[in-house]
């Protein structure tokens, strides 16, 4: 593992108002798992896009297996054996696994697609990866974990040399994460080089041979993981000492803000009942598909409730759409921020003020000065990294987009806030800020519903934890009672 397979030299890339990469040089060794660590906005995504040919660098060069290139095109990167798996998967849901693996280069028998041969070759690829999967299954019927495996199979089918994995476990359950780790180790044993990007320190230290730290678009240091302390890595990432701890919460729970009685939806939820008190952080655990997100959407009026009741302050309310939920003081920070959380083509300022326009306008005319004051205050409080408040929110990093979504609901003065995977894809410093925000909101009397796939996060933050499985609540834990194993046992069942 001593020979470099890939070297980037003095790579620089600028966008209007920001230098995403500033003279970055990194060497990647053949057959290693090399982690790229850094806060949101550190330059990790830009580096990936340059290596896969999606973005051209302004200057610098790339050396792959002894040959130097000024840049790659997407097709060239694939032909050279470089592939990437992103958080947003690039699959066609209504095609089969085999059809996705061979999409764009289908095997043909004369003018006809040879589906049988593609299925057989896909089965062989999956077997090499140690995966049992029907190649004729439609991708839409697979879990996120198995969809990621399809992406890997697609990459391996191209004579893969370097696989870039961007937050591959963000949407996976504990069991699926272990499976993904085994898959990474399997690829490494076969001589594939893996560039691994994750905000989860435990993953980096378990998988990576070496770790490169980027900060504010600059190369900081490359470390051997076996010689590196967790606190040391975090300090290099943020540029200062920062502990990974959960804030102390001293808020006393108050009156019942929200009561849910026997909620059912047509497709999944079955007789869900619980209460949420003012100042309480109520955690929801469960595997992917357990119904946690569907429950959040039902309470928020995004999904239809077939039967059951919602009571706010003891009074029955009818919430048929999100507008009605907002009027009742309910806010939702959704799991998929790009699809449901942000208005991608609008500015940071417009996104933050969107849910509280009545507070910054009079006679339906927006008071620009007031809007600027409100939105700028949230930029400062949450340390949103943006060139200016008029920057389109789609140009921000994932973590900063999440902060904008948070700001939107904080500005609306919601009394009940539902956080669905609030720290997914968020760096360690932003996590600390989100945890402190949630704790402060609870201190102020806001009722918090916290949905998370990270059991450690729920144990550290929640006053109570409810566990869901197959659309039902299977058990609960008071503060201090739960362990990761006890939560998993209830989530998996017999």
Quick one: pLDDT at residue 56? 95
Quick one: pLDDT at residue 348? 75
Quick one: pLDDT at residue 342? 64
Domains 4-238 and 256-492 share a fold: yes
In this prediction, residue 202 has a pLDDT band, given cuts at 50, 70 and 90, of: confident
Q: Which residue has the higher pLDDT, 212 or 353?
A: 212
Q: Which residue has the higher pLDDT, 397 or 484?
A: 484
Domain ranges of the chain: 4-238, 256-492
Task: Say yes or no to pLDDT of 121 above 70.
Answer: yes
Across the range 210-220, mean pLDDT stands at 93
Q: Which residue has the higher pLDDT, 289 or 282?
A: 282
Task: Say yes or no to pLDDT of 396 above 80.
Answer: no
In this prediction, residue 280 has a pLDDT band, given cuts at 50, 70 and 90, of: very high
Query: What is the average pLDDT value for the chain, to the nearest integer?
Result: 84
Task: Say yes or no to pLDDT of 126 above 60.
Answer: yes
Task: Say yes or no to pLDDT of 351 above 80.
Answer: no
Quick one: pLDDT at residue 131? 76
Quick one: pLDDT at residue 388? 76
Quick one: pLDDT at residue 494? 55
Considering the domain 4-238, what is its CATH architecture? Answer: 3-Layer(aba) Sandwich (3.40)
Q: pLDDT, tens digit, for every residue of 136-168?
A: 999 888 877 788 788 888 887 877 899 999 888
Quick one: pLDDT at residue 257? 94
Quick one: pLDDT at residue 483? 86
Across the range 1-19, mean pLDDT stands at 86
Across the range 24-33, mean pLDDT stands at 95
Q: Mind spelling out the 3-state secondary structure of the chain?
A: CCCEEEEEEEEEEEECCEEEEEEEEEEEECCCEEEEECCCCCCHHHHHHHHCCCCCCCEEEEEECCEEECCCCHHHHHHCCEEEECCCCCCCCCCEHHHHHCCCCCCEECCEECHHHHHHHHHHHHHHCCCCCCCCCEHHHCCHHHHHHHHHHHHHCCCCCEEEEECCCCCCCHHHHHHHHHHHHHHHHCCCEEEEECCCHHHHHHHCCEEEEEECCEEEEEEEHHHCCHHHHHHHHHCCCCCCCCCCCCCCCCCEEEEEEEEECCCCCCCEEEEEECCCEEEEEECCCCCHHHHHHHHCCCCCCCEEEEEECCEEECCCCHHHHHHCCEEEECCCHHHHHCCCCCEHHHHHHHHHHHHCEECCEECHHHHHHHHHHHHHHCCCCCCCCCCEHHHCCHHHHHHHHHHHHHHCCCCEEEEECCCCCCCHHHHHHHHHHHHHHHHCCCEEEEECCCHHHHHHHCCEEEEEECCEEEEEEECCCCCHHHHHHHHHCC
Q: Which CATH number fits domain 256-492: 3.40.50.1970, 1.10.3720.10, 3.40.50.300, 3.90.226.10?
A: 3.40.50.300
């Amino acid at each position: 593992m001593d020979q470099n397979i890939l070297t980037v030299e003095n790579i620089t890339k600028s966008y209007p108002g920001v230098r995403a990469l500033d003279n970055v040089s990194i060497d990647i060794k053949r057959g290693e798992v090399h982690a790229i660590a850094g806060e949101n906005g550190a330059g990790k995504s830009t580096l990936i896009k340059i290596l896969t040919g999606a973005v051209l660098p302004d200057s610098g060069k790339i050396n792959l297996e002894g040959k130097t290139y000024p840049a790659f095109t997407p097709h060239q990167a694939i032909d050279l054996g470089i592939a990437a798996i992103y958080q947003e998967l690039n699959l066609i849901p209504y095609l089969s696994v085999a059809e996705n693996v061979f999409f764009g280069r289908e095997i043909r028998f004369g003018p006809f697609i040879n589906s049988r041969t593609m299925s057989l070759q896909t089965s062989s690829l999956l077997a090499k990866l140690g995966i049992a999967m029907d190649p004729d299954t439609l991708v839409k019927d697979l879990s996120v974990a198995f969809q990621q495996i399809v992406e890997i199979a697609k990459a391996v089918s191209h004579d893969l040399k370097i696989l870039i994995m961007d937050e591959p476990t963000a949407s996976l359950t504990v069991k699926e994460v272990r499976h993904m780790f085994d898959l990474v180790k399997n690829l490494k044993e076969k001589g594939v080089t893996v560039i691994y990007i994750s905000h989860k320190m435990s993953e980096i230290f378990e998988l990576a041979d070496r770790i490169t730290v980027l900060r504010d678009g600059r190369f900081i240091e490359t470390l051997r993981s076996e010689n590196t302390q967790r606190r040391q890595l975090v300090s290099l990432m943020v540029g200062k000492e920062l502990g990974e701890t959960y804030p102390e919460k001293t808020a006393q729970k108050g009156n019942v803000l929200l009561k849910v009685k026997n909620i059912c939806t047509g497709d999944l939820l079955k007789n869900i009942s619980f209460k949420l008190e003012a100042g309480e952080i109520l955690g929801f655990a469960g595997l992917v598909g357990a119904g946690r997100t569907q429950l959040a959407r039902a309470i928020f009026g995004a999904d239809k409730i077939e039967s059951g009741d919602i009571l706010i302050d003891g009074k029955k309310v009818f919430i048929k759409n999100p507008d009605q939920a907002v009027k009742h003081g309910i806010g939702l920070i959704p799991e998929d921020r790009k699809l449901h959380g942000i208005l991608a083509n609008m500015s940071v300022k417009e996104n933050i003020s969107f849910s509280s326009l009545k507070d910054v306008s009079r006679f339906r005319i927006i008071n620009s000065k007031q809007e600027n004051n409100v939105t700028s205050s949230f930029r400062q409080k949450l340390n949103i990294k943006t060139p200016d408040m008029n920057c389109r929110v789609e140009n921000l990093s994932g973590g900063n987009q999440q902060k904008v979504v948070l700001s939107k609901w904080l500005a609306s003065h919601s009394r009940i806030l539902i956080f669905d995977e609030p720290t997914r894809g968020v760096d360690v410093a932003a996590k600390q800020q989100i945890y402190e925000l949630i704790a402060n909101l609870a201190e102020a009397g806001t009722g918090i519903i916290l949905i998370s796939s990270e059991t450690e996060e729920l144990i550290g933050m929640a006053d109570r934890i409810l566990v869901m499985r197959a659309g039902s609540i299977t058990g609960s834990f008071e503060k201090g009672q739960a362990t990761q194993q006890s939560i998993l046992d209830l989530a998996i069942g017999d």
